[in-house]
A and B are shown apart, each in its own frame.
Chain A
Amino acid sequence: MSVLVDEDTRVVVQGITGGEGNFHAEQMIEYGTNVVAGAVPGKGGQEVHGVPVYDTVHEAVRREDADASVVFVPPAFAADALFEALDTSLDLVVAITEGIPTQDMTTVNRRLRETDTYLVGPNCPGVITPGEAKLGILPGNIFSSGNVGLVSRSGTLTYQVVDNLTQRGIGQTTAIGIGGDPIIGTSFIDALELFEADPETEAVAMCGEIGGEDEEDAADFIATEMDTPVAGFIAGRTAPPGKRMGHAGAIVSGSGTGTAESKIEALNNAGVPVGDTPEEVADHIEGFL
């Protein structure tokens, strides 16, 4: 089992004729993902890696019965691409694009609330169900199929923790990179809810970082709503206050909220062990299984 995506997921790649879209569409197809169409305004009628391209997402969905999209559209046009995706009946939209203006995302987010669609990202590595499908830019070869769910705000940290798990023979149901921007679609809580409901997911690894209060909110959710055990990791313990550490969201405010300490404390209070190193996260997960 898996959450969000599996071998039957029918994927549209928005921006498939661009450099990143083209490269990663090929990688996704090679991984076995059921990529059924591309959508690029003005490029309808072409074919990329054997996949038909349509001018609109609507047409791609109608003709190819797609139920998910992955977005590689440049930031200036990304909000429009997301509105277009949300205007169809897609179950899942994965936004890889980095650098979408925040106010654009406030309106996308507002529209999202009126739909039943899951939006993952933006500025995220995507979603993968090992051995079945990957939507995004994650390196497929480090993942293996199994019974651990993973949710992370950081792409490369996702890879690191997955590597620690895979190296000791622990496979994953699905890994979801939710992205590090201040405004994202699927939150920790949304992902945890999906894993809790998935009978195959026996434990969850959750990778957070400094900034915002999403991890604290997730801790409340874990304490009150989850039976599946969760192990955590929080990046940014050594980050100085007030400095932006790469991610738009990764900044510690002067007032003490959003710090690594407050997140680790909240998780510990919710019964979630937090590893000092990625290797320790794998130790905790191993202990759960």
Chain B
Amino acid sequence: MRLHEYQAKGVFADAGIPTPDSRLATSVDEAVDAGRDLGYPLAVKAQVHVGGRGKAGGIEIASDEDELREAAETIIGMDLKGYHVDRVLVEAAVDFTDELYLGVTLDRGEGEPVVMVSSEGGVDIEEVAETNPDAIARERVDPAYGLHSFQARKAVSEAGVPRDVSRAVASVVETLYDLWEANDASEAEINPLMVTDGGDVVAADAVMNVDDDALFRHPNLAEMEEESYTDDLERKAGEYGFDYVRLSGNVGIIGNGAGLVMTTLDLVDYYGGDPANFLDIGGGAKAERVANALDMVFSDPNVDSVVFNIFGGITRGDEVARGINDALSQFDEIPKPVVVRLAGTNAAEGMEILNTELVQVEGTLEDAVQRAVANAEEVNQ
């Protein structure tokens, strides 16, 4: 789960990391009121879950009320990389002499947390990592001990942070690590951490991703969840609780298990088709869930043909067959041709139950995919 900037800043500020004065605004009038409280110059920042907001026009600087009004009018209601902007953070601008980058994440390869510090903050840090990896100091953390203070000092020193603020920055690094750990974050990042003329540090942005699997022990964070979707289908998938990714093609794909569903997508592509989606019904799905999955895929107007690929392990073929029957028996006419391939646990029982008047059945993955691709081509002829 990704927190909005204003939410992450709240978590960071509560932990003792300095952040600029700011107000959240959902209308132009609220933004103007915020400007009167905060003074100028200030920044108006779209609160949506997309990277690169600045480049995409989601962040504007205003030096007076007219500019603020204009910026708020532009940003509130805009469509930013497919996401609707319904709120902005209005924030006091910070006079800075340096911009730093601080981050804590998981080093997957090592299976350990890693703390990162760079004096090249304020820009696309992924680009820095690509073009000049030495500009980012990294410190791996032994999870049995947590981050030692010396490691924070070492990373700050190796990153070439100005000496007059090194203590203050090391302190923010330690706090950032502590809140990363305490909140089961997968990622906590400040970019930039601004160094002011007076030698203070201020977190001008805040990024925090929390491990979905750990939300059960952080009800305060779970409450902040504001899913944002690029379209109604993704919203629906969220409500049904599916792992779903919408793609640009016309062959709808439903399967169980991420690896097998990805493989089905790849095979649709391999046999000359174009996948419309990734939809994993997950392990042990019951009939209702299967019916919901079909509803999802039928709801996509781009879909011309559907392939169901189930290899039962913990999922049982008879349950899946029942779900397919339930979903399809509600139609006078099946909206799009459905090919089913059932294998594994209780597949034989499933095949007996499956109403083959409503679906086409294939015995192998390869045959099922090729038939679905052919069905889609036929629709388009």
Contact = CB atoms under 8 A, between A and B. Distances in A.
A235 B280 CA distance: 14
A98 B181 CA distance: 21
B311 A163 contact: yes
A276 interface: yes
A110 B258 CA distance: 27
Contact of B263 (A106, A137, A142, A235): A235
A212 B109 contact: yes
A182 B112 CA distance: 11
Interface stretch (A10-18, A32-40, A220-228, A238-246): A238-246
Contacts of B129: 255
Interface string B22-55: 0000000000000000000000000000000000
A126 B361 CA distance: 30
A112 to B, nearest CB: 9
Interface string A246-289: 11111000110000100000000000000011110000000000
A103 B143 contact: yes
A276 B270 CA distance: 8
Given A76-B216, A106-B112, A110-B142, A235 B270 contact: no
Contacts of B256: 156
Nearest to A137: B314
B144 A137 contact: no
B91 to A, nearest CB: 27
Contacts of A154: 257-260, 262
A59 B268 CA distance: 52
Contacts of B266: 235-238, 260, 276
A101 B211 contact: yes
Interface string B294-318: 0000000000000000011110000
Contacts of B255: 156
A196 to B, nearest CB: 22
A70 to B, nearest CB: 14
B336 to A, nearest CB: 20
A237 B269 contact: yes
Contacts of B17: none
Contacts of A99: 213
A207 interface: yes
Interface centre among A153, A217, A277 (most CB of B within 10 A): A277
B112 A75 contact: no
Given A107-B144, A182-B108, A235-B262, A243 B245 contact: yes
A246 B258 contact: yes
Contacts of A157: 257, 259-260, 263
A238 B181 CA distance: 34
Contacts of B117: none
Contacts of A155: 257, 259, 283, 313
Interface in B235-288: 243, 245, 247, 255-263, 265-270, 275, 278, 280, 283
B130 interface: yes
Q: Is the interface of B mostly helix, strand, loop or mixed?
A: mixed
B255 to A, nearest CB: 7
A106 B262 contact: no
A209 B214 CA distance: 24
Contacts of B216: 76
B345 interface: yes
Interface centre among B257, B258, B261, B269 (most CB of A within 10 A): B258
Contacts of A76: 216-217
Contact of A180 (B247, B259, B345): B259
Given A103-B181, A209-B259, A279-B366, A137 B313 contact: yes
B326 interface: no
Interface centre among B243, B263, B266, B344 (most CB of A within 10 A): B263
Given A137-B313, A182-B106, A243-B245, A105 B111 contact: yes
Nearest to B280: A246
Contact of A75 (B106, B213, B261): B213
Nearest to B346: A139
B292 to A, nearest CB: 16
A157 B266 CA distance: 13
A120 to B, nearest CB: 15
Nearest to A212: B108
B86 interface: no
A232 to B, nearest CB: 13
Contacts of B283: 98, 155
A102 B183 CA distance: 12
B151 interface: no
B184 A101 contact: yes
Contact of A246 (B217, B268, B278, B314): B278
B192 interface: no
Interface of A: 20, 75-76, 98-107, 109-111, 125, 137-139, 142, 152-160, 163, 180, 182-183, 207, 209-210, 212-214, 217, 233, 235-240, 243-250, 254-255, 260, 276-279
24 contacts: A20-B314, A99-B213, A100-B213, A102-B211, A152-B259, A154-B260, A156-B256, A157-B259, A157-B263, A159-B344, A183-B111, A213-B109, A217-B109, A235-B260, A236-B262, A236-B266, A237-B266, A238-B262, A240-B245, A244-B243, A246-B257, A247-B259, A254-B126, A276-B266
